[in-house]
Amino acid sequence: MSHVSSVPASAPETAVAPPVAKRIPTRREHHGDIFVDNYEWLREKESAEVVDHLKAENTYQEAVTAHQEPLREAMFQEIKGRTQETDLSVPSRKDGWWYYSRSVEGKEYSIQCRVLASNTGDPVADWTPPSVEPGVEIDGEQVLLDGNIEAEGQPFFSVGGAAVTVDGKLYAYAVDNSGDERFTLRIKDLRTGELLPDVIEDIFYGVAFSPDGSRLFYTVVDDSWRPYQVKAHVLGTPVSEDEVLYQEDDVAMWLGFDLSSDRRHLVLSIGCSEFSETQLLRFDQYADGLSTVISRDHHLLYEAEPFLLDGKETLLLTHNKDAINSMVSLVDPAELARPLAEQNWRTVVEHSDDVRVNGAGVTSTHLVLSVRKDTIERVQVLPLAGLGTATQGAPVEPAFDEELYTAGVSGSDYDAPVIRMGYTSYFTPSRVYDFVLPTADLPAGQLLLRKESPVLGGYSAQDYVATREWATADDGTRVPLSVLRHASVQQDGTAAGLVYGYGSYEMSMDPGFGIARLSLLDRGIVMVIAHIRGGGELGRQWYEDGKKLTKKNTFTDFIAATDWLAGSGWADPARIAAMGGSAGGLLMGAIANMAPEKYVAVVAQVPFVDALTTILDPELPLSALEWEEWGNPITDPEAYAYMKSYTPYENVGAVAYPKIAAVTSFNDTRVLYVEPAKWVQALRSVSTGSEPIVMKIEMDGGHGGASGRYVQWRERAWDYAFVADSVGATKLLPGAGLK
């Protein structure tokens, strides 16, 4: 048999009643439509009454799920038992140093280290990472940052960016101690270990030094948590005098920056999901300020990388000009002075309906491409010699032997003869490769395995199976599914199932190894990852067909994936749960309203379930940035009506809802805690069923939950135990589990 019990386990009766929030009607009127919101008052985060209510929600949740504690503990121990807790990353070479991180058993956070590299003139030897052993300090090892020391006495700890000067003398790092993604930046002199007096508060992700080490660049967010300024701090000067290099006033545009690969330019990226703009600053012409590559007025979605090609200033453009899946071109910067229609762009990678170009970058010798084909992301390299001409070389792609995998560039030094790549699949733990860039000596390129993350506890990939299947949506569209199961599960219609999805922002749910997931599969749960419209798995059109006025395709695709599982023989239709987070939490709320009878449980992690209220208020964090994804319901009556027809909070109804767990964090700045808090109250007030609806709120966490790895493992164990208990799959399959 492939399961333990054929019916879902019911939670024991609890004497604790769910907290009932008082009703204070708030009238919302837009485009002639009136909505009365009884729970909007829960937004008052500083209110003692609100905090008490949230604590009462936790008390209720703890009572309802108390019987799951042994299962949670078992799953936590399985995650811990499979993880090599004392471990390290593969060293990466940058500016004459090897950088790496260590993790130590019993400690929550990683330790950032480095050791000097040697330069013998032998490129193979010089770019072979040093052998660093877990728990063994090596000669000359320097600790840059010990997260465990930094986190002492703090409720939360996260690093939002770090940078080292080219000469290796100064180290800048940004720390968040509350979970709200606002960081404090400090600078350490690595020669003495002393901190410089320069301290910059309330910055966002992204930190970089100028090549000469005299300036530090960083981003600042506005009141709605949108990065809108890039600033430059001259070391040793008052922070109050920091220069605003650029300020983006359009509330619907996101701002970020990076250094060009050759570090001759600061590259500012401004954009939304539909069009963008790049601004460049040449460090050797700093006083000349920023220059625009292509104005946003042309409504192109593009990225620009300045570099030297045959000694001549050149721009590498990855763009969607007459190319929905994007293409790659070269342009002489002098061309930018001419009208766009008259500019001469040389094609490097042509447009394809079957291949999505995700990005392109350069090393000193090669162009490095990231493309997606047949749902799988791939890496290709082309020599710079002859690029954009009739003698352009053919792309070379490292070959892997699995059908479903993820491979991507994970960072490389501009002058390196190799590119560092990450590789993983559903049942192959993450690997680190160095791909030797093809040259006359090594024309085919070569993959050098530097590390495969160890998995303890007797793990064997042969115990599990991953297949690609296809569901058929209501409109006939074929929706790709990744179906994961333990090899011993039989196709007899008796197993439990879990359907997972996201389906927004062109984000793809790519194959990746997950230790925690094994605890579900080992209990006979068949997991389906639904690659639904709104994601990016099948190119840009796949995304376009699941946003704005086609958003409901995301939800109906997910239900189609559920129907496929129910009819496949791999699961009992009465034992299927659903899970998703953030925008995937909106998905959970939508499918709970549309097809509650198809699920015995729904886990909604940091769920965007009150999306319309949020997007109607441009003062709320990141709201204006959402208009390109969902439409602008403030100005567009059609967008308002369409959103109101599916947003979970407005569409709760008198139906028998399944068990529902809303999991959130008090300090989340992306999806505010108030959304699930209101949703849970609305659900309880109308549900005709008897299943419990709970909210678990982490009072010290951010959008990713709490910060330490052990705490995060326990959070994952909580979610998975809720699912396993709900679908009646709490016992390990014979022979499964830790060995």
Q: Which residues are catalytic?
A: 582, 668, 703
Residues paired with 35 in a beta bridge: 28
Is residue 358 a contact partner of residue 377, using CB atoms and an 8 Å limit? yes
Closest CA to 10 of 619, 455, 574, 506: 574
Residues paired with 127 in a beta bridge: none
Here the tokens at position 649 are 């909070």
Is residue 592 a contact partner of residue 237, using CB atoms and an 8 Å limit? no
Is residue 171 a contact partner of residue 144, using CB atoms and an 8 Å limit? yes
User: How far, in Å, CA of 582 to CA of 185, rounded?
Assistant: 28
User: How far, in Å, CA of 248 to CA of 230, rounded?
Assistant: 9
What separation in angstroms does the CA of 605 have from each of 608, 610, 719? Answer: 9, 13, 9
Closest CA to 91 of 72, 113, 108, 76: 113
Is residue 344 a contact partner of residue 337, using CB atoms and an 8 Å limit? no
What separation in angstroms does the CA of 401 have from each of 254, 302, 377, 392, 731? Answer: 38, 33, 14, 28, 34
3-state SS assignment for residue 112: strand
Report, in this order, helix, strand and coil percent for the chain, each rounded to 5: 25, 35, 45
Is residue 500 a contact partner of residue 467, using CB atoms and an 8 Å limit? no
Q: Is 472 exposed, middle or buried (0-12, 13-18, 19+ CB in 10 A)?
A: middle
User: How far, in Å, CA of 692 to CA of 16, rounded?
Assistant: 11
Between 583-594 and 552-568, two packed helices, what is the crossing angle to 10 degrees? Answer: 70
User: How far, in Å, CA of 79 to CA of 694, rounded?
Assistant: 25
Is residue 726 a contact partner of residue 8, using CB atoms and an 8 Å limit? yes
Is residue 673 a contact partner of residue 666, using CB atoms and an 8 Å limit? yes
User: How many of the other CB atoms lie within 10 Å of CB of 282?
Assistant: 16
